[in-house]
């Protein structure tokens, strides 16, 4: 990954903050796609992998730069894995508004009456790195993070579903973690570690 020129194919401010922190120690300051005039791609895939590829390819094609994309979401067991790839669109697909707060409210209402032990869930994160839009060997990594869905929001850090995502081992929600702790433990942080290993291996074998 080159230090000067990487487009981050995301419009999510929370993700952008986390990536900036994850990549800063490597001297990489990824450029958010909006700063390069790239609008959000239409996420028409049926998997996190497909959507991350769509986003990375879209940003690389428009900018001519290497691109990093993240497609992520929360899989809730009591909802048969929903909202999954539709996590960003959960409330809007149920005509219950849009955005993080409405998504959280929609998740709480979908889980009304579900007891604590049955509220198991996990975040997934798939990262795709493309050297250019037509890169035939994208680097694709994925990681998950286990937790439970609370019955009311707790904490004001993080973003998205974090105020509802309870971490039994830490005894707090993801929104109560320090940013650096979230990056060490999270689906995104651990996927990024894998991506960096894969990039190092690729550069050593080149």
Strand, helix or coil for residue 73: strand
Are the C-beta atoms of residues 7 and 68 closer than 8 Å to each other?
yes
Cβ nearer to ligand ITT, comparing 123 with 166: 123
CB of 54 to Mg ion, least distance (A): 10
Q: Is 41 in the site for Mg ion (CB under 5 A)?
A: no
* Cis upstream peptide for 154 (omega within 30°): no
Options 19, 129, 161, 166; binder of ligand ITT; rule CB under 6 A: 161
* d(C-alpha 158, C-alpha 18), whole Å: 9
The residue range among 23-31, 132-140, 160-168, 191-199 that interacts with ligand ITT, by the rule CB under 6 A, is 160-168
Note if 71 is an active site residue.
Answer: yes
The residue range among 112-120, 127-135, 154-162, 192-200 that interacts with ligand ITT, by the rule CB under 6 A, is 154-162
* d(C-alpha 73, C-alpha 87), whole Å: 5
* d(C-alpha 147, C-alpha 121), whole Å: 5
Binding site for ligand ITT (CB under 6 A): 10-12, 15, 40, 43, 55, 70-74, 87-88, 100, 103, 123, 158-162, 174, 186, 188
């Amino acid at each position: 990954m080159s230090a000067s020129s990487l487009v981050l194919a995301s419009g999510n401010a929370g993700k952008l903050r986390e990536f900036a922190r994850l990549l800063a120690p490597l001297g990489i300051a990824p450029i958010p796609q909006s700063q390069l005039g790239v609008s959000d791609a239409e996420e028409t895939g049926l998997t996190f992998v497909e959507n991350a590829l769509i986003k990375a390819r879209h940003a690389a094609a428009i900018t001519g730069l290497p691109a990093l994309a993240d497609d992520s979401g929360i899989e809730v067991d009591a909802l048969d894995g929903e909202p999954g790839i539709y996590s960003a669109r959960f409330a809007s697909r149920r005509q219950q508004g849009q955005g993080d707060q409405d998504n959280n409210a929609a998740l709480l209402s979908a889980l009304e009456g579900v007891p604590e032990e049955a509220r198991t869930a996990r975040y997934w994160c798939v990262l795709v790195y493309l050297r250019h839009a037509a890169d035939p060997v994208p680097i694709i990594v994925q990681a998950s993070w286990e937790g439970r869905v609370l019955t009311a929001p707790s904490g004001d850090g993080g973003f998205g579903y974090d105020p509802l995502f309870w971490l039994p081992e830490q005894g707090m929600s993801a929104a109560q973690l320090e940013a650096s702790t979230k990056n060490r433990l999270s689906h995104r942080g651990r996927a990024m570690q894998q991506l960096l290993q894969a990039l190092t291996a690729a550069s050593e074998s080149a």
